[in-house]
Every structure is written in C-alpha cells, then in structure tokens.
Structure 1
Amino acid sequence: MSRIDLFIAGGQKCGTTSLHAYLAEHPGFCAGPKELHFFDDEGVDWARHDYAAYEARFDGPGMRVDATPIYGFWPGALERIARYNPAARLIFLRRDPVERAWSQWCMEYARGDEAMPFARAIREERSRIATGETGMRHHSYVERGAYGMQAARAMALFPRRQLLFIESAELARDHAGVLARVAAFVGVGPFGAVSPLRRNARADVDYPASPDAADRAYIMERLSHDRVLFERLTGIGGARAV
C-alpha cells in the first residue's frame, strides 16, 4: 500500500476541520478520518512500527490526507512523518494567536478539561506543560501559536516546496482562492464550485469573559520573537498563503 502523501499538520483551532471537509469533496483526495493522532502517539514503538493498520484507515482512490493538526506542534511528530514519507507534503494553517488560544481554552473548558480561568491558564501554561503529556495536549494555549518554531522544524525536515502555509482568515474569506492554491500545491485538478463551510459551532456553554487587553498583550509579547521568525522563514507578514 502506498504512503500517505498529504498532511494537514497544523494548527489546532485554525480552520483545519473546514479544509479537511473541502478536500473530502474533491475526487482527487481521499480524506481519511480527521485527527487520527497517529504520529503523536507516544505508546508506539517507532523503531519497529508497522504502518499497515494506519494506512488501512484510508479507503478510496485519490491522494490520501491525514488531517491531525497537533502534528506540527507535537515533539517528534514531524520527524516521524519525515521518516515515514520524505516526499510528503504538509499544510499549516495560521490564525491570530490570541483568538486561537481562546478558542482552544473554550474547547477544553466545555469538555471539562479546564477549570482555570483563561487569564491564569495562559500565565501558568509553562509549568503545566512541564508536568507531562496532559499539559502538552490540553493546556498549550500560547505555545501552539508559536508558528515560527513549527515552520522552522518543518523546514529542517522537508524541502520548502513541500510546505504550504495558509492564513485561516483567508480560508474563511476566500475559500475558492485558497483551494486553488492547495490544488496547485499538490498537483490535482481544480476544485469545482464549492460552497463556503460554516465554522465549527462553539459548544452551548456559559463561558467566562473573553480575553482582555492585558491577556492579548501578554500573549503577543510571549510570541514576539516567534512572529519575526515566522515572517523571516516564510515571507508571510500579512493575511495571505505562500
């Protein structure tokens, strides 16, 4: 069985569900179940793993797509993908890091996995992440917005031509234009007329107050050097895809 060719590797709460759904409508793609969480599975013996069961999850013709947005963030995941398929192409979506962090916090809060207020959670994030896998998976609100570090890791493993960076705001504003670039990036035929998809509806929960100016300033300051790194590596400084 042939290797998986395309990965939507980031980022969580950045529009990956919509992009996966768009690709599923194109006959040139075989979009497997979203978020298989294969290459971030720390219970796997990666030195001697058999990929047959993983590849069997993709049933149908076309370029097979694994959309698991934690891959770009999770330590070791991109390295495992590179060993699995050095010719793979990877797509990364980027969103305003404050909006992204708040959206993730709301998801964890609605699931019952977060009891700490947002303002405190982002300020205590580093100590929670240091405790292990649970903190990394559930409480990495600011760190997942370090798109520059993720781009640097990807570029150290794959040629630049195999990487596509997309602004989530552009996917929402001009999905047809973004999908045309995706088709050109992977070498499939153009998309037909595709209706815009609605964003995932937030759970009907009584959320506390949204981030204030101090929260935004804190997040943007923490990520200030990373934003410079991302722009230097990708050439992207505004809302566009390259």
Structure 2
Amino acid sequence: MKPRLKRSVHAVSRTTGRVTAGSRVLPSFLIAGAQRSGTTSLYRALAQHPLILKPVFHKGVHYFDVAYDRGLPWYRAHFPRQATASRLARRYGCRPQAFESSPYYLFHPLACPRIAWDLPGVKVIALVRDPVERAFSAHAHELARGFETETSFARAVEMEEERLAGTVEELRASPYSISHAHRHHAYLARGRYAEQLAPLEQLIGRDRLLVLDSGRFFTEPEIVYDRVLEFLGLPHIGDPVFERHNARPRPSAMPESLRRELTDHFAELDALLTPWLGAEPTWRR
C-alpha cells in the first residue's frame, strides 16, 4: 500500500475507532522502553500469542508521551474491540490482554504519571541494555532516520548536556509540547535506567513492574518469554518465533578509550539495577 493511501486508511480507521471507543479495550500492559533495547523483538514475540492483542495500526501509539492532547478516546481507537476479546476469552477460557510498545514512555518525564492515572492496574515491562551499547546504537538509529546531524558519536555525547539543558523543565511547564533534543539526542541520559525505574515503581508498585535484561533476552529468549507470560498471568500457548528486529549497521567502531570512559560513567547506576533484575546486569558480569 502506498504511504499516502496508507495514511488515509489509518485516518479513517482512527475516526471510526473514536466513534466506537466505548466498545474497545484498553491495554492491560505496556512495554515502556528502553529505546534500542529489544522492545520491537519482544513486541513481535508477544504479538504471536493468541491471547495478547496488539494495536490495530502499529507497535507504538505514543499517546502518553507526544500525543496526550488527543484524549483517551483517540487512544482507545488504536485497540481491538471488546467483542474480539470476549470471543477469545470464550475460546481459550482466559481473558485476553491488549498491549502496545512505545519506548519513549520510560524516559519522558510525564508519561509514567499519565499511565498510572489513566490505566489503573496496568502492568509495565521495561528492558534494559548495556547503556554504552544502547547509546552507540541510538546514535546510529537517529542518524539513519535523519533526526541527528552530528555524525561523530563522541561529539554527540559531548554535545548532549548542552542539547538537553532545560528540556525536562520545558516539558513539565508545557505538558503538550515536544522536545526534539529530549526525544532524539539523549544518548547517555536514556541509559540511566535506575533514575527512570525508581519513580515508576513508586507510581505503580513493584508487583506491576517487570524489568528485563536485554542481554539475557537475546541469548535465552524462551526463558525470558516464559517469565513475561508468568508476570502477565497468561498460559503458554504455542511457541513464538524469536527474531531480532531493527538492528542498525554501525558507521564505525567506538574508540576503546571512549568505551572505557562511558563504562566507568555508568558503573554506579548499573549496580542499582540488581534489585530489579534479580541478578547483576549481564554486561557487568
């Protein structure tokens, strides 16, 4: 389908979705991030489960970060109808669960409070990856998408503090605004996972937050997948195909001196992840 026609079809479908919002399900769980940490791979594995309902249009709705002004009926329009969920419940004897995956939710300063307010009882899954590799991957990703103009990763890291200065305060002061720098240039900041997980845990409770080590997911996907189903209270039905998605070729290797510097930079914050993961992060072993 051509892009323009596809956008038109989606616009009509969302209009219909808003009209029928009252008959649509809201998500029972979210994959909230982190960016470049395997969220798409986990999303596609979970979407193969017959009792897990994905969004109608695309993986990430991004309602709670950059589209909150559109309102909850707009958000509901992205999910299947209750009749679909009821039909699956009768077939499998278990309540289906809808979900979406928007990796900016974990980092956006207003997304998690909005989630806790609008989706009481929702469960949240967060994936964490070696923050040095995550940052390097994110830079290649933003460069390829045209959101980054600085081709040197080292220089982009040097520029980050200045680029992000005041962005959180601006987003809080103007809740419906969008910050290009905060969304696309936070290479190191997005890797400070403990600073993002702590307030989320306070908002929704420890029992509704599952933190996964992406390194383990990539090497032992079956074990991590079963852990997710247990967290969601869903039976294991069928065996999904596990694939890695959205991998980006790197324009060049990271200088070893910079890698050592950044690894030391994250040492204390990485250590704080152990209580959430139940083990030392794989990249620190």
Counterpart residue number, 1:35: 60
User: What is the aligned residue count?
Assistant: 233
- Supply the RMSD in Å over aligned alpha carbons: 2.0
Match of 1:173 among 216, 219, 227: 219
Are the aligned partners of 1:148 and 1:233 in contact in 2 as well (CA < 8 Å)?
Answer: no
Counterpart residue number, 1:101: 135
Question: Is 1:142 paired with 2:142?
Answer: no
Q: Matched residues in 1 for 2:251 and 2:127: separation?
A: 27
Greater displacement, 213-222 / 1-10? 213-222
Runs (4+) of structure 1 moved beyond 3 Å?
A: 232-236
Query: How much has 1:18 moved relative to structure 2?
Result: 0.6
Counterpart residue number, 2:266: 223
Report the 3-state secondary structure (helix = DSSP H, G, I; strand = E; otherwise coil) of the residue aligned with 1:22. Answer: helix
- Code of the residue aligned with 1:55 in structure 2: it is R
Counterpart residue number, 1:52: 73
After superposition, the C-alpha distances for 1:163-200 in whole angstroms (9 at most, x for unaligned) are 11111121111111111111110111114222221332
- Code of the residue aligned with 1:103 in structure 2: it is S
Counterpart residue number, 2:199: 153
Change (3 A) 1:233 1:27: closer
Report the 3-state secondary structure (helix = DSSP H, G, I; strand = E; otherwise coil) of the residue aligned with 2:62. Answer: coil
Query: How much has 1:151 moved relative to structure 2?
Result: 1.3
Counterpart residue number, 1:24: 47
Consecutive unaligned residues of structure 1, counting only runs of 5 or more, are none
Consecutive unaligned residues of structure 2, counting only runs of 5 or more, are 1-21, 86-95, 168-178
Query: How much has 1:223 moved relative to structure 2?
Result: 2.4
Rg larger in structure? 2
Counterpart residue number, 2:171: none
Percent sequence identity is 34
Greater displacement, 28-37 / 190-199? 190-199
Change (3 A) 1:10 1:95: same
Counterpart residue number, 1:209: 252
Change (3 A) 1:191 1:16: farther
Structure (1/2) with the larger helix percentage: 2
